[in-house]
């Protein structure tokens, strides 16, 4: 049996995060000693590692909850898990596209700046006048 500190160290997860995952049901309530200290099994360590890796891949908590439910039934087809992963991939691709547009806009601003004085600074001009931008930043920031 593992303490919460050991669980935290072995998974690279903060103690507060472990407690939060218990609170929202991603991790089961752990067993406790007579003194009330939490004790975790290897199964709970594996489950936390699963959650942690899922978070590192950017999965939202609701998707992780779905994936955990699917993992609890190992003989079911994995089509639902594939769909969840596909949704996440689409989200990542959309974020990458927004970041690439942002990079292009920043590169353009920097390259068009002649470096003379702030009165003629292209960077400041573009930042003052949104119509000078190539892309809709409301879309990029979302």
CATH number at residue 30: 1.10.1660.10
Number of domains in the chain: 2
What confidence tier does 124 reach under pLDDT thresholds 50, 70, 90? confident
How many Å apart are CA 40 and CA 47, to the nearest integer?
11
31: CB partners within 8 A, 6+ apart: 1, 38, 39, 40, 41
Query: What's the whole-number mean pLDDT along residues 23-42?
Result: 92
54 and 85 co-located in one domain? no
- Its domain, for residue 88, covers 79-141
Q: With pLDDT > 90 as the criterion, what percentage of the chain qualifies? A: 63
Residue 119, CA atoms < 13 Å, CB-side half-sphere? 0
Quick check: is 64 in a domain? Answer: no
What is the tens place of the pLDDT at every residue in 76-99?
Answer: 889 999 999 999 999 999 999 999
State yes or no: pLDDT of 137 exceeds 70. Answer: no
pLDDT given for residue 136 in this prediction: 61
State yes or no: pLDDT of 13 exceeds 90. Answer: yes
46 and 93 co-located in one domain? no
């Amino acid at each position: 049996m593992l303490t919460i500190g050991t669980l935290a160290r072995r998974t690279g997860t903060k103690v507060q995060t472990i407690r939060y995952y218990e609170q929202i049901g991603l991790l089961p309530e752990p067993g406790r000693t007579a003194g009330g200290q939490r004790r975790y099994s290897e199964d709970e360590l594996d489950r936390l590692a699963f959650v942690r890796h899922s978070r590192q891949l950017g999965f939202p908590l609701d998707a992780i909850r779905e994936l955990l439910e699917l993992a609890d039934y190992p003989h079911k087809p994995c089509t639902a898990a594939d769909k969840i992963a596909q949704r996440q991939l689409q989200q990542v691709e959309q974020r990458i596209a927004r970041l690439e547009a942002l990079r292009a806009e920043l590169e353009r601003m920097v390259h068009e700046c002649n470096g003379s004085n702030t009165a003629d600074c292209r960077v400041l001009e573009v930042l003052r006048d949104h119509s000078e931008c190539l892309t809709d930043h409301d879309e990029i920031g979302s």
